[in-house]
Amino acid sequence: MGDLNGAGTPTKDIHGASGLRCGLPGQPANGWIINKATFYFYRGLTTYQCADGFVLFGSSQRMCLENGMWNGTVPTCEFDLAHGKASQQSLTLMNYRSDLAVDGDPETCSYTQRNKKSSRWWLVNLGRRYNVTYVGIRIERGTYQAFTVFVMDVQEEKPALYQECVRFSGTFPLETMMFRCNRALGTTGQIVYIRDERQTEEHLRLCEVQVFASQEWMPCGDPEQPIYSSVNWTENQAHYSCLPGFTLKGETVRNCLADGQWSSSPPTCVADPWRISTKSYARTPGFIHGPKTQWPSHRYKQHTLFPSLYTSPRTTLGVPFHPAEVWMISSPV
């Protein structure tokens, strides 16, 4: 397995795939990597977070595997239609207002007063009609809950239409649960209404309500970039190639799909044994040498793997750069 340590020198024979370091793990649109690093090593974790008003779908962490690839897929960040929107509830307990359930903070919760004479409810007005596909609800885990979620369609000169999205009764198994409306096909309306169905005198407590609608297209974020690779991408396609002396295995082009994911898996760049040998590695300050080319080291730095260093916004090279340590690719003997 071939790899480069932090100084840019080989740590193992370069024949074969890199097993001690991964390339860039990619990141979703409207999100980022919390613990972004210059190098990602075997068993290292990367953690994702979404921008304010967006909710992460998928795993929040990925691990660098021994084969130099990342497990799982890049998550997506989807816009929460309920975030910061106007809300109401039945009688409010003290200062636990209805808007605390749509403020994006899971630690703040809305409460209604205990009331047996009239129903306990909560609603949020999305501002316009959407095809609501999912409703996420955060309530204290392990508590008994019974509620019905409706999507209300309100049109001029017509009575409000209450359309049932989901009905739940039982112990809340998770802190946050995502409920599908109409088997995720969606229910059209502009108001999401939650009615407490418990027959006991309880507070209706909601720590966060999230609403999502169907979308024709979602943007893709930064695609993954394997080590020893180069990728050039637009919002629709990502084109991969390998550095001299490496052969690409997999798809050379990945397309941005409607769900915000890149098609297929990222390719890998495997070393060519007949072109690369450990003896060809050299410390030649200033230039990176190849069989027929040489690149000034300052130009190479502009297109290095790591976003904190490169200047070209859409093209990066998948090999670490260090100005005092460069490597050479030799011609066949």
The pLDDT of residue 252:
96
**CA 250 to CA 79: how far, in whole Å?**
32
**CA 250 to CA 255: how far, in whole Å?**
14
The pLDDT of residue 206:
97
The pLDDT of residue 118:
78
Cα 152 to the chain's mean position, in Å? 31
* Residue 317 identity: L
**CA 184 to CA 54: how far, in whole Å?**
19
- Give every CB contact of residue 22 below 8 A, 6+ residues apart in sequence: 40, 41, 42, 44, 64, 65, 68, 69, 70, 226, 227
The pLDDT of residue 106:
93
CB atoms within 10 A of CB 53: 14
Nearest CA among 148, 147, 152 for reference residue 124: 152
Residue segments in the chain with a per-residue pLDDT below the cut of 70? 1-19, 116, 274-333
The pLDDT of residue 275:
58
The SS3 of residue 308 is coil
- Give every CB contact of residue 298 below 8 A, 6+ residues apart in sequence: none
CB 73, CB 86: distance < 8 Å? no
The pLDDT of residue 329:
32
The values of phi and psi at residue 124, to 5°, are: -135, 135
> What's 3-74+221-317's CATH class?
mainly beta
Q: Where are the alpha helices (DSSP H) in the chain?
A: 297-302
Domain 87-213 has CATH 2.60.120.260: yes
pTM (2 d.p.): 0.74
CB 26, CB 232: distance < 8 Å? no
Give me the residue spans of the domains in the chain.
3-74+221-317, 87-213
CA distances to 161, 303, 323 from 3, in Å: 62, 19, 17
